[in-house]
Structure 1
Amino acid sequence: MDYTPVTPFRRPINAAILHYQAAAQQDLPPSGVNKWEALRELAAARIAFGLSDRDLSVLQALVSFHQATIVGGNHSETVVHPSNKAICERLNGMPCSTMRRHLANLVQTGFVVRRDSPNGKRYARRYGDEKIAFGFDLAPLAQRFVEVCEAAEAVRAAEERYKRLRSTVSLMRRDLAGLVDYGRSLRPDRAIWDQASDLCVLTARDLRRKLDFAELQQIESALSEALNATRDLLEPVQSQDMSTNDVTNEQHYQNSNKDSYDFEPRLEKAQDEGSVSDPATALVAEGRTDEPVPVDNNLPRIPLGLVLAACSEYRAYAERPVRHWHDLVRVADVIRPMMGVSPSAWDEAKQYMGPEEASVVILVMLERFGDIRSPGGYLRTLSAKAALGEFSCGPMIMALMRKDAA
Structure 2
Amino acid sequence: MDYTPVTPFRRSVNAAILKHHAAAQQEVPPSGVNKWEALRELAAARIAFGLSDRDLSVLQALVSFHQSTILGGNESELVVHPSNKAICERLNGMPCSTMRRHLANLVQTGFVVRRDSPNGKRYARRYGDEKIAFGFDLAPLAQRFPEVCKAAEAVRAAEERYRRLRSAVSLMRRDLVGLVEYGRSLRPDLAVWDQASDLAVLTARDLRRKLDFAELQQIEATLSKALDATRGLLEGDQTENMSTNAVINEQHHNNSDKDSYDSELRLEKAQGDCTASHHMSASVAIDESGKVDEPVSKVDHLPRIPLGLVLAACREYQTYANPPVRHWHDLVRVADVIRPMMGISPSAWDEAKRYMGPEEAAVVIVAMLERFGDIHSPGGYLRSLSAKAALGEFSCGPMIMALMRKDAA
Smaller-chain TM-score range?
A: 0.5 to 0.7
> What is the identity, as a one-letter code, of the residue corresponding to 1:214?
A
* 3-state SS of 2:244 partner: helix
Distance 2:14 2:205 in 1: 47
> What is the identity, as a one-letter code, of the residue corresponding to 1:283?
T
1:289 aligns with 249
Report 1:4-403 matches (<5 A). 4-236=4-236, 283-285=244-246, 287-289=247-249
> What is the identity, as a one-letter code, of the residue corresponding to 2:244?
L
Distance 1:289 1:168 in 2: 38
State the Cα distance separating 1:74 from its structure 2 match: 1.1
1:336 aligns with none
- Structure 1 residues 38-84: Cα deviation after superposition (integer angstroms, max 9, x where no partner): 00110111111111111000000000000111101111100000000
Distance 2:31 2:94 in 1: 35
1:330 aligns with none
* 3-state SS of 1:135 partner: strand
> What is the identity, as a one-letter code, of the residue corresponding to 1:11?
R
* 3-state SS of 2:134 partner: strand
Structure 1 length-normalised TM: 0.60
* 3-state SS of 1:114 partner: strand
State the Cα distance separating 1:125 from its structure 2 match: 0.7
Distance 1:89 1:221 in 2: 52
How many residues are paired up? 253
- Structure 1 residues 208-258: Cα deviation after superposition (integer angstroms, max 9, x where no partner): 00000000000000000000000001123999xxxxxxxxxxxxxxxxxxx
Structure label with greater radius of gyration: 2
State the Cα distance separating 1:191 from its structure 2 match: 1.8
State the Cα distance separating 1:280 from its structure 2 match: 5.5
- Structure 1 residues 362-405: Cα deviation after superposition (integer angstroms, max 9, x where no partner): xxxxxxxxxxxxxxxxxxxxxxxxxxxxxxxxxxxxxxxxxxxx
Distance 2:149 2:23 in 1: 18
* Aligned-residue RMSD, C-alpha: 2.0
* 3-state SS of 2:236 partner: coil
Given the superposition, is the C-alpha separation of residues 175 and 238 from structure 1 closer, same or farther in structure 2, using an over 3 Å criterion? closer
* 3-state SS of 1:56 partner: helix
State the Cα distance separating 1:282 from its structure 2 match: 5.9
- Structure 1 residues 83-142: Cα deviation after superposition (integer angstroms, max 9, x where no partner): 000000001111000000000000010000000001100001111111110000000110
* 3-state SS of 1:236 partner: helix
* 3-state SS of 1:82 partner: coil
Distance 1:17 1:117 in 2: 17
> What is the identity, as a one-letter code, of the residue corresponding to 1:120?
G
Distance 1:74 1:66 in 2: 14
Structure 2 length-normalised TM: 0.60
State the Cα distance separating 1:8 from its structure 2 match: 0.4
State the Cα distance separating 1:281 from its structure 2 match: 7.2
Give the fraction of aligned pairs with identical amino acids, expressed as a percent: 84
